[in-house]
Structure 1
Amino acid sequence: MAPRANWKGFLRLSLVTCPVALYPATSDSEKVSFNQLNRATGHRIKYLKVDADTGEEVANEDIVKGYKVDTDTFIEVTKEELENVALESTRTIEIDEFVDRSEIDPRYLIRPYYLRPDGKVGHDAFAVIRETIREMDKVAIGRVVLTNREHIIALEPLDKGLMGTLLRYPYEVRDPVEYFDEIQDVKVTKDMLDLARHIVDQKSGHFEPDKFEDQYETAVVDLINQKRAGKPIVPKERPRGENVVDLMEALRRSVGGEKSAEVASAPKKPAKKPKKASAGQKEMLMPIAGKKPAKETAAKKPTARQRKSA
């Protein structure tokens, strides 16, 4: 089932308008999550909202936002007052301009969303806006209010819908001079560049997200299963970095090491796609997280890792 929309309103290009809904394009729900426990009792830790002076718990309906003026002075702002701030972007994404994708600095990107028509009407207008952006090979820039804040949003075609990426404002991006000013000016020789380019050529490929596996997540799943099975936990030795004394020698050895690795790995079978491993992780953790009924979990054939951990 698709998640609930984070925002509903209208998309407008000049006089062309259509109702749309905005959905999160990413999710962290598949990752392993932990609760905080009392070590002595094993009970979950519960957080309460209390008055800082009286120590008494405060009900949610009695809590308002406050802007801190000084140590003991706050200006109260209610939810209704914030909702009454008359911004057009509260209910409408107005496309203000079109820019080249290459002009958007990656530092300004926050998170992606999916934008689609809301309901059965407005599909024609949505298609006109989408295909115009696609035909012009541009990115549409507009504004949208989410969680009581106005954001810049960049819209570009994605299949039959639009992908909207929230962008930061300039004041949110730090000046790199603060961090890079003390980096020494080093002259890199042609021999070093040639060796480094050779390493890059050996490692060059195409970006295929399915090739990547969250190794930390896999290790956490293994840890949980070992503890469930009552097996002793043996800490693994941490990898240690070595100081590079001779940079040229390190580059030469890297080139030689890559060649040796290619020869050694040639006869091996191709690795299984991480997508299957991820599905296995999710299935293994179902009994822990309680995300599915017991009958549904029992009906599934256990994976090899489950049989080993049981």
Structure 2
Amino acid sequence: MAPRAYWKGYLRLSLVSCPIQLFPATSEREKVRFHQINKNTGNRIRYQKIDAESGDEVAAEDIVKGYEISKGEYVEVEPDELDAVEIESNRMIDIDEFVPKKEIDELYLNTPYYIVPDGEVGAQAFAVIREAVKKEGMVALAKIVFTNREHIIALEPRGKGLMGMTLRYPYEIRDEKDYFDDIPDESVPKDMLELATHIVHSKAGHFKPDKFHDKYESALRDLIKRKQHGEKIEAPKEREPAKVIDLMDALRRSAKGAKATPARRGARRGGTRTAKKSSRSTARHRKAG
């Protein structure tokens, strides 16, 4: 069964437009989720909306939205008042401008969506827009309305379709100075930097997300299976606190381990001579350190 579109409308570049569908590009439905239940009856817990002062349950028709302007003081806003500021949704993603992708700070990236043509009628117009964006190597910026809120969305080609990434507004971004300014300025000795750089090079690779493994998710599923079979679950032993070690010594040991891995592989292929060469190289490194 095909997934249901999250949003339907039109994509327009100047006078060229086409009907499109927009789908969330990510999902968390597959994650293990727990419900709260009554331990004595096994029934689900139902939440009630209670007046914080009186403790009485409040009927749905008596609940309104309120913005707290000071502690315990609210400005009430009625639904019809919210309708007065509702952004008109014209179901149109109208491309306003094109910008280099590298100029978009990662902090502004929010939620990804897949964008596909809606039906065969607009397929060619969709392809024209997609290929024009691809040819220029830029990212298209446009506006879209979700649930009464206007969002900025960045569009770029992806395969035969487009990927749309909603962007955060500047007021949603926290100032890094509030977090980084208190970090002390540390001078990094040259030998420490060289060792650390060597470790980085030894662990260099390529981004392969299929290698990522969510150990906690797997452990949860295993836990549930064991519980279904009536197994007793015991809490793990407490971990010992990390020992304070000398930074330079830790870097040297890490660098040594990084160098030993390819050397051992070479020893298996080339025999004793390679192993001896690796040993002499390690000895010289120790003497230099």
TM-score range, shorter chain: 0.7 to 0.9
Taking only aligned residues, the RMSD between alpha carbons, in angstroms, comes to 2.7
CA shift, 1:113, in A, is 0.4
Show the counterpart of 1:58. 59
Superimposed CA distance per residue, residues 117-142 of structure 1 (whole angstroms, 9 cap, x where no aligned partner): 12332111111111001000111011
> Which amino acid in the other structure matches residue 76 of structure 1?
V
Q: SS in structure 1 opposite 2:213?
A: coil
Show the counterpart of 1:38. 38
Q: Identify unmatched segments of 5+ residues in structure 1.
A: 267-310
> Which amino acid in the other structure matches residue 211 of structure 2?
K
CA–CA distance in 1 between the matches of 2:165 and 2:238?
Answer: 38
Identical counterparts, % of pairs: 55
Q: SS in structure 2 opposite 1:32?
A: coil
CA shift, 1:42, in A, is 2.4
> Which amino acid in the other structure matches residue 32 of structure 1?
V
- The change in CA–CA distance for 1:83 and 1:6 in structure 2 (over 3 A counts) is farther
CA–CA distance in 2 between the matches of 1:229 and 1:18?
Answer: 54
Show the counterpart of 2:191. 191
CA shift, 1:100, in A, is 0.9
Show the counterpart of 2:217. 217
Show the counterpart of 1:237. 237
CA–CA distance in 2 between the matches of 1:69 and 1:7?
Answer: 34
CA–CA distance in 2 between the matches of 1:200 and 1:234?
Answer: 38
- The change in CA–CA distance for 1:20 and 1:211 in structure 2 (over 3 A counts) is same
Q: State the TM-score, normalized to the length of structure 1.
A: 0.76
Show the counterpart of 1:112. 112
Show the counterpart of 1:98. 98
Larger Rg computed on CA atoms: 2
- The change in CA–CA distance for 1:65 and 1:12 in structure 2 (over 3 A counts) is farther
Q: SS in structure 2 opposite 1:178?
A: helix
Instruction: Tell whether the 8 Å contact from 1:69 to 1:75 is kept in structure 2 after alignment.
Output: no
Deviates more, 1:65-74 or 1:30-39: 65-74
Q: SS in structure 2 opposite 1:165?
A: strand
Superimposed CA distance per residue, residues 262-281 of structure 1 (whole angstroms, 9 cap, x where no aligned partner): 67899xxxxxxxxxxxxxxx
Q: Identify unmatched segments of 5+ residues in structure 2.
A: 267-289
> Which amino acid in the other structure matches residue 55 of structure 1?
D
Instruction: Tell whether the 8 Å contact from 2:87 to 2:150 is kept in structure 1 after alignment.
Output: no
Show the counterpart of 1:130. 130
- The change in CA–CA distance for 1:48 and 1:191 in structure 2 (over 3 A counts) is same
- The change in CA–CA distance for 1:91 and 1:81 in structure 2 (over 3 A counts) is farther
Superimposed CA distance per residue, residues 29-73 of structure 1 (whole angstroms, 9 cap, x where no aligned partner): 1111100112233221112345665834534x7755444456454
CA–CA distance in 1 between the matches of 2:240 and 2:214?
Answer: 21
5 Å-filtered alignment, 1:1-310, equals: 1-49=1-49, 55-59=56-60, 64-68=64-68, 71-78=72-79, 82=83, 85-87=86-88, 90-237=90-237, 239-240=239-240, 242-260=242-260
Instruction: Tell whether the 8 Å contact from 1:51 to 1:58 is kept in structure 2 after alignment.
Output: no
Instruction: Tell whether the 8 Å contact from 1:64 to 1:79 is kept in structure 2 after alignment.
Output: no
> Which amino acid in the other structure matches residue 86 of structure 2?
V
CA shift, 1:259, in A, is 4.1
- The change in CA–CA distance for 1:228 and 1:79 in structure 2 (over 3 A counts) is farther
- The change in CA–CA distance for 1:241 and 1:160 in structure 2 (over 3 A counts) is farther
CA–CA distance in 2 between the matches of 1:176 and 1:39?
Answer: 45
Deviates more, 1:11-20 or 1:179-188: 11-20
CA–CA distance in 1 between the matches of 2:170 and 2:264?
Answer: 49
CA–CA distance in 1 between the matches of 2:263 and 2:111?
Answer: 41
Q: State the TM-score, normalized to the length of structure 2.
A: 0.82
Deviates more, 1:19-28 or 1:256-265: 256-265
- The change in CA–CA distance for 1:86 and 1:210 in structure 2 (over 3 A counts) is closer
Q: SS in structure 2 opposite 1:250?
A: helix
CA–CA distance in 2 between the matches of 1:118 and 1:79?
Answer: 33
CA shift, 1:148, in A, is 2.0
Q: SS in structure 2 opposite 1:37?
A: coil
CA shift, 1:229, in A, is 1.6
Superimposed CA distance per residue, residues 244-277 of structure 1 (whole angstroms, 9 cap, x where no aligned partner): 44211100111223345567899xxxxxxxxxxx
Instruction: Tell whether the 8 Å contact from 2:5 to 2:22 is kept in structure 1 after alignment.
Output: yes
Q: SS in structure 2 opposite 1:205?
A: coil
